[in-house]
Structure 1
Amino acid sequence: MFLPSSLNEMKKSGYDECDVIIVTPDAYADHPSFAMALLGRFLQRNGYRVGILSQPKWRDPESFLKLGVPRIAFAVSGGQMDSMVLNYTATKKPRHEDLFCEGGNPYFSKKGEDRKYRIRPDRVLNVYCSQIKSVCKEKPVIIGGIEASLRRTAHYDYWSGKVKRSILFDSKADMLIYGMGEYALLDAVRGFESGISVEDMQIGNTAVAVRSTEGYEDPVILPSFEDAKNSKDDFAKAHLLFEKNRDDKVLFQKQDSRYIIQYPRRRISREELDFIYESRFMRKLHPEFHDIPAFEMIKYSVTSHRGCFGNCSFCSIASHQGSEIVSRSRESILSEVREIAAMDYFKGTITDIGGPSANMYGAECITGGCTLHDCLKDGSGCRNLISGNSEYLALLKDAGKIKGVKHVFVNSGLRFDPCLMDERFLEDMLNNHISGQMKVAPESGSDKVLRLMNKPATAVFCGFLSEFNRITKKEGIRKYVIPYVIVGHPGEGDKEGSDTADFLLKNNLKGRQFQIFTPTPGTRSTAMYYLGFDPVTGEKSVTEKNIGKLEARKDKIIRKIS
Structure 2
Amino acid sequence: MFLPTSSAEMARRGWDRCDVIIVTPDAYVDHPSFAMAILGRFLEADGYRVGILAQPRWRDPGSFLELGIPRLAFAVSGGNMDSLVLNYTANKKPRREDLFSENGDPFFSKPGDGKKYRIRPDRTITVYCSQIRSVCREVPLIIGGIEASLRRIAHYDYWSDSVRRSILFDAKADLLVYGPGEYALRDAVRALEAGDALRECVIAGTAGVRKEADVPGDPILLPSYSAVSSDTAAFARAFCSFYRNYDRRLLAQQQDSRFLVQFPRRRLTTAELDAVYDLPFMRRPHPRYEHEIPAYTMIRDSITAHRGCFGGCAFCAIAAHQGAEIVSRSPASVLREAAAIAAMKDFSGTISDVGGPSANMYASRCRIGGCDRPDCLQRGDACENLVSGTAEYGSLLGAVGNVAGVRHVLVSSGVRFDPVLLDDALLLRLLRHHIPGQLKVAPESGSDSVLAAMNKPGTGVFCAFKERFDRLARREGIRKYLIPYIIVGHPGEGEAEAKETVRFLRDCGLAGSQFQIFTPSPLTRATACWYLGHDPCTGIPLPVEKRIPVLEERKKHLIRR
TM alignment of 1:320-339, pairs within 5 A: 320-339=321-340
Aligned to 2:460: 459
Q: What stretches of structure 2 of length at least 5 have no aligned partner?
A: none
Query: What is the rounded CA distance, in whole Å, between the counterparts of 2:215 and 2:437 in structure 1?
Result: 58
Contact 1:107 1:115 in 2 (8 A): no
Question: Which residue number corresponds to residue 403 of structure 2?
Answer: 402
**Following the alignment from structure 1 to structure 2, what is the Cα–Cα distance between the partners of residues 13 and 351?**
35
Taking every aligned residue pair, what percent have the same amino acid on both sides? 60
- SS of 1:267 mapped into structure 2: coil
8 Å contact kept, 2:175–2:199: no
Distance of 1:14 and 1:337 partners within structure 2: 33
When residues 67 and 420 of structure 1 are mapped into structure 2, their CA distance, relative to the original with a 3 A threshold, is same
Q: What's the counterpart of residue 422 of structure 1?
A: 423
Work out the CA distance in 2 between the residues paired with 1:280 and 1:219: 40
**Contact kept? 1:224, 1:253, Cα under 8 Å:** yes
Task: Indicate conservation of the 8 Å contact 1:213/1:259, yes or no.
Answer: no
- Structure 2 residue aligned with 1:293: 294
Letter matched to residue 326 of structure 2: I
- Report the count of equivalent residues: 560
Alpha-carbon distance, 1:512 to partner: 1.1
Q: Deviations over 1:387-436 (max 9, x none)?
A: 11111111110111111100000000000000001111101111011111
Distance 2:237 2:215 in 1: 24
- Which residue in 2 is equivalent to 1:71? 71
Question: Do the aligned partners of residues 191 and 418 (structure 1) sit closer, same or farther apart at CA in structure 2, a change above 3 Å counting?
Answer: same
Aligned equivalents of 1:512, 1:114: Cα separation in 2: 36
User: Which residue of structure 2 aligns with residue 449 of structure 1?
Assistant: 450
The answer as to whether partners of 1:501 and 1:557 remain within 8 angstroms in 2 is: yes
Q: Which residue identity lines up with residue 479 of structure 1 in the other structure?
A: K
- The letter for the 1-side match of 2:102 is E
Cα separation, 2, equivalents of 1:15 and 1:363: 45
SS of 1:116's equivalent in the other structure is: coil
User: Matched residues in 1 for 2:372 and 2:76: separation?
Assistant: 32
Aligned position for 2:504: 503
For the residues of structure 2 that align with 1:453 and 1:529, how far apart are their CA atoms?
Answer: 12
Once residues 288 and 199 of structure 1 are traced to their aligned partners in structure 2, the CA distance between those partners, rounded to angstroms, is 37
Q: How far apart are the structure 1 equivalents of 2:76 and 2:379?
A: 40
Of stretches 195-204 and 361-370 in structure 1, the one that deviates more from structure 2 is 195-204
Cα displacement (A) at 1:31: 0.3
Write the letter of the residue equivalent to 1:543: V
SS at structure 1 position matched to 2:417: coil
Give TM-score scaled by structure 2 length: 0.99
**Equivalences for 1:147-226 in 2 at 5 Å?**
147-212=147-212, 216-226=216-226
* Conserved 8 A contact 2:141-2:175: yes
Please say if 1:317 is aligned against 2:347: no
Question: What whole-Å deviation, never above 9, does each CA across 1:307-328 have from its counterpart, x for those lacking one?
Answer: 0000100000000000000000
Matched AA of 1:333: V
Q: Whole-Å Cα distance in 1 between the matches of residues 75 and 114 of structure 2?
A: 30
Cα distance in 2, alignment partners of residues 519 and 35 from structure 1 = 24
Q: Could you list the per-position Cα deviations for residues 63-88 of structure 1 after superposition, in whole angstroms to 9, with x for gaps in the alignment?
A: 00000000000000100000000000
**Residues 115/296 of structure 1: CA separation in 2 closer, same or farther (3 Å cut):** farther
Q: Distance in 2 between matches of 1:378 and 1:60?
A: 50
The equivalent of 1:358 in structure 2 is 359
Deviation at 1:373, TM superposition (A): 2.0
Distance 2:76 2:112 in 1: 30
Per-residue deviation at 1:557? 1.6
Q: Which amino acid aligns with 1:68?
A: G
Give the aligned residue type for 2:366. C
**Is 2:215–2:259's contact at 8 Å kept on the other side of the alignment?**
no
Q: Distance in 2 between matches of 1:321 and 1:8?
A: 36
Alignment of 1:3 with 2:3, yes or no, is yes
Distance, in Å, in 1 between the alignment partners of 2:306 and 2:224 is: 35
The unaligned stretches of length 5 or more in structure 1 are none
TM, length-normalised to structure 1 = 0.99
Post-superposition CA distance 1:458-485 (Å, at most 9, x none): 1000010000000111011110100000
TM-superposed deviation, 1:213: 5.6
Note the alpha carbon deviations across 1:473-503, whole angstroms, 9 max, x for none: 1011110100000000011001100000000
Please tell me the root mean square deviation across aligned C-alpha atoms, in Å: 0.9
Amino acid at match of 2:337: E
What corresponds to 1:539 in structure 2?
Answer: 540
Cα distance in 2 for residues equivalent to 1:540 and 1:275: 46
Could you tell me whether the CA contact under 8 Å between 1:359 and 1:392 is conserved in 2? yes
Mapped partners of 1:111, 1:352: distance in 2: 37
Deviations, residues 196-230 of structure 1 (Å, cap 9, x unaligned):
12233100011111001666443100000000000
Mapped to 2, the partners of 1:440 and 1:304 lie a distance apart of: 19
Counterpart position of 1:132: 132
Structure 1 residues 15-62: Cα deviation after superposition (integer angstroms, max 9, x where no partner):
111000000000000000000000000000000000000000000000
Is contact 2:174-2:199 (8 Å) kept? no
